[in-house]
Amino acid sequence: MIELRTPAEIDAMRPAGRFVAEVLATLRDETKVGTNLLHLDRRAHDMIRAAGAESCYIDYHPSFGASPFGKVLCTSINDAVLHGLPHDYALRDGDLVTLDFAASVDGWVADSAVSFVVGTARDEDLALIDTTQRALAAAIETATVGKKIGDISAAIAAVAHAEGLSINTDFGGHGVGRTMHGDPHVANDGKAGRGYPLRAGLVVALEPWFLHTTDELVTDPDGWTLRSADGSRGSHSEHTVAITPDGPIVLTDRSFLGVD
């Protein structure tokens, strides 16, 4: 069921968006060569506790998960792109890092993800990150009253296809509200002009993610971490966006913190 939020409810979601933005900006700033993924998870946990927020991940146990997630942050490194379970690993020079974080504040959820490289970056990794960022920007620009879900999907796909990337539609965007995952599903590929009409009050997480040379994923023995089937690296850009009569509001915008 698709739920629409009143302007007052969208305002009430702003603290969650701001908190998620602050956590990702802080973690991104502090993540260096040598940083351990378990440290990043603990840091996020501390920020959750200090803010009186709640993790959306720690008890998360969907049908595809082997057991509850048990951590508050997803850390997907290099050929891992989604649902990376933090483990005892110190980042190495040139690692491509994706941090995905969702939390609720005052009972409202926000969800966001960012990819970046620590240390010396490969040009192809920076290009892939740029592509997911541009796809997210295109998705947000399309998230306006009068368009349809398929217009967002098509906008994302156009950016990927221009770079010759293939797209996996198993995991994509979703409604966000009192819980992390609601309707509608927002696939990262689709037909313009099709699907649910975008109405004022719809709040969705938009999340293009792409791999260099495949659209196939394999699951790690940890039961969570999703990696590319061919070992190529991935990037993921996600924001929680409210559709309003005045245009999209990016609730998890980090730009006020000086971080893109």
Q: Where in 55-114 is the site for Mg ion (CB under 5 A)?
A: 100, 111, 113
Instruction: For residue 169, count other CB atoms closer than 10 A to its CB.
Output: 13
Residue 132 beta carbon to Mg ion: minimum distance, rounded to whole angstroms = 13
Residue 123 beta carbon to Mg ion: minimum distance, rounded to whole angstroms = 27
Residue 109 beta carbon to Mg ion: minimum distance, rounded to whole angstroms = 10
Q: Where in 218-247 is the site for Mg ion (CB under 5 A)?
A: 238
Nearer to Mg ion, 151 or 238 (CB): 238
Structure tokens at 161: 């296809």
Cα 26–175–27 angle (5° rounding)? Answer: 10
Q: How many CA atoms lie within 13 A of 62 on its CB side?
A: 8
Nearer to Mg ion, 206 or 249 (CB): 206
Q: Tell me the site size for Mg ion, rule CB under 5 A.
A: 4
Bridge-based pairing of strands 74-77 and 108-117 is unpaired
Nearer to Mg ion, 82 or 96 (CB): 82
Nearer to Mg ion, 57 or 128 (CB): 57
Residues 237/5, Cβ–Cβ less than 8 Å = no
> In this chain, which residue has its C-beta nearest to Mg ion?
111
Nearer to Mg ion, 100 or 125 (CB): 100
Residue 100 beta carbon to Mg ion: minimum distance, rounded to whole angstroms = 4
37: left (phi over 0), alpha (psi -120 to 50) or beta: alpha
Instruction: For residue 41, count other CB atoms closer than 10 A to its CB.
Output: 23
Residue 93 beta carbon to Mg ion: minimum distance, rounded to whole angstroms = 27
For residue 142, what are the CA distances in angstroms to 32, 135, 198, 229, 257? 34, 11, 10, 31, 24
Residue 73 beta carbon to Mg ion: minimum distance, rounded to whole angstroms = 10
Residue 238 beta carbon to Mg ion: minimum distance, rounded to whole angstroms = 5
Nearer to Mg ion, 41 or 100 (CB): 100
**Residue closest to 226 by CA, chosen among 171, 180, 188:** 171
Q: Where in 169-188 is the site for Mg ion (CB under 5 A)?
A: none
Nearer to Mg ion, 109 or 159 (CB): 109
Q: Where in 111-170 is the site for Mg ion (CB under 5 A)?
A: 111, 113
Rounded CA gap, 93 and 36, in Å?
13
What distance separates the 2 farthest-apart alpha carbons in the chain?
A: 47
Binding site for Mg ion (CB under 5 A): 100, 111, 113, 238
